[in-house]
Amino acid sequence: MARKMLIDGEAESVPGVEQGTNFDFDLFIIGAGSGGVRAARFSSNYGAKVGICELPFNPISSETIGGVGGTCVIRGCVPKKILVYGASYGGELEDARNYGWELNEKVDFNWKKLLQKKTDEINRLNGIYKRLLSNAGVKLFEGEGKIVGPNEVEVTQLDGTKLSYTAKHILIATGSRAQRPNIPGQELGITSDEALSLEDLPKRAVVLGGGYIAVEFASIWRGMGSEVDLVFRKELLLRGFDDEMRAVVARNLEGRGINLHPRTNLTQLIKTENGIKVITDHGEELIADVVLFATGRAPNSKRLNLEAVGVEVDKAGAIKVDEYSRTSIPSIWAVGDVTNRMNLTPVALMEASCFAKTVFNGQASKPDYSNIACAVFSIPPLSVVGLSEEQAIEQTKGDLLIFTSTFNPMKNTISGRQEKTEVMKLIVDAETDKVLGASMCGPDAPEIIQGIAIALKCGATKEQFDSTVGIHPSAAEEFVTMRTVTRRVTGSGKPKTNL
């Protein structure tokens, strides 16, 4: 009997598949990153026979190289955060002197040692992910997968031999890859993949881009002592975040010694004896040892044979899916960055979990994209949950109450660091008292906002925040002691331009 799936509470067979058809697998997954591994494990736990394929491991990806664990584990969140930790110690050592630590000798930084430690860790995690699949009873194939029919996948192994498998359901979880701008000399630049594996720490770096990756790598390199120029097209960095918080991040970056070049783009890179000459659209010339392109990512969908099978994609190559992550072909599904919905690792995990519940546990589950917290691991970091002020103005009809607090962290009063990094903000619906959004820029912001996210998910009101007793002394207590309204935004007000 064909396995049933629930959609809106009604059992449904997969269209086009005859009852009683035998398949090699109940589910075959292309891509063993965060979303693929989660879907494989959960589906197997629900009783499905699961196969999964992934490209061979390498820290720097290509169309034919990847690795179990995917971008986040191998060349994304995890190694990036390790480097952020490493870069943060520079400032900590400076601050330590005023806390009584006598650092008499010059402190040197060994980039190669940190790089090796980072590599050791991602190798360890790659092995852990393989064991997770094995322990769940999932069959792992190393090679490139593509779809050759609604229920058939072809895997090209490392030696070129091709294996063909049938599956009742196929899940695409191939993620995305960093892109390069189409400018003369672009081959002289690198992407975040290479930036995480540089043999030598650059003394001079130019970063092109205004998003997460650009801001984070600028912070990392500056924290390690490099001279950094950050070039971006908009007036402010981090488009899509709250404008007020974006300005705070920009001030902090400048305060740490990063040179900002707003409303600027790169037009050409030229190799010289002194390094890479970088020319901007304003005619400015910069010299760098490394030029990082942090100008966006594109879905990994080109080599999957989607068009031949009839799976619809958008202009950017993102796979079109419905609210259950189902593509235009009923037996084929997609989760994670390849769908370009909300490109965050925890979101891919959520989508994969919902997929497994829907298809193999008879529990129709739609991903919920509301109140998803996120963080930019700049130094210091920015973290947010819920609506920005601009989004709240756009999406609500009534008045908004804006609460903000800016102060010098207690730690800085002794260290002498002149950086008002603790900036907190709450957006409140004036009529319902519901907290619509929270933002924080400062040390430990992601750890604090994760807790605030639970409150917003539960629909907490400002009164409930105010009635919560704070932990003293802490920065986090500020979220429950902001009593005075900074400003009231009337319902007739228009959102500020998101610069």
Give the span between the Cα atoms of 436 and 394, in whole angstroms. Answer: 12
Does residue 81 have a known ligand-binding role? yes
Give the span between the Cα atoms of 39 and 172, in whole angstroms. Answer: 10
Does residue 442 have a known ligand-binding role? no
Task: Identify residue 245 by its one-letter amino acid code.
Answer: M
Cis peptide before 380 (omega within 30 of 0): yes
Burial grade of 494 (CB within 10 A; 0-12, 13-18, 19 or more): exposed
Give the span between the Cα atoms of 39 and 356, in whole angstroms. Answer: 6
Does residue 210 have a known ligand-binding role? yes
Give the span between the Cα atoms of 175 and 340, in whole angstroms. Answer: 9
- Which run of H or of E encompasses 105? none
Does residue 175 have a known ligand-binding role? yes
Angstrom CA distances, 307 to 150, 303, 314, 325, 481, stand at 12, 10, 11, 18, 56
Does residue 149 have a known ligand-binding role? no
The phi, psi pair for 148, rounded to 5°, reads -115, -5
Catalytic-labelled residue, pool 169, 261, 282, 472:
472
Residues forming a β-bridge with 405: 424
Give the span between the Cα atoms of 185 and 202, in whole angstroms. Answer: 19
**Residue carrying structure tokens 């989660």:** 38
- Which run of H or of E encompasses 231? strand 227-231
Does residue 76 have a known ligand-binding role? no
SS3 annotation, 277-314: EEEECCCCEEEECEEEECCCEEECCHHHCHHHHCCCEC
- Which run of H or of E encompasses 442? none
User: For this structure, is 472 an active site residue?
Assistant: yes
Sorted by sequence, the CB contacts under 8 Å of residue 498 that are 6+ apart come out as 239, 240, 243, 390
CB 448 within 8 A of CB 476: yes
**Residue carrying structure tokens 């973290």:** 383
Residue 404 has, within 13 A of its CA and on its CB side, a CA count of 15
Sign of the CA dihedral running 99, 101, 102, 107: negative
Token pair belonging to 430: 């004036």
Give the span between the Cα atoms of 152 and 210, in whole angstroms. Answer: 41
Does residue 214 have a known ligand-binding role? yes
CB 155 within 8 A of CB 145: yes
Give the span between the Cα atoms of 379 and 110, in whole angstroms. Answer: 20
Task: Identify residue 170 by its one-letter amino acid code.
Answer: I
Feature table: binding site: 81, 145, 174-176, 209-216, 296, 337
By annotation, the residues acting in catalysis are 472
Feature table: binding site for NAD(+): 209-216, 296
Feature table: binding site for FAD: 81, 145, 174-176, 337
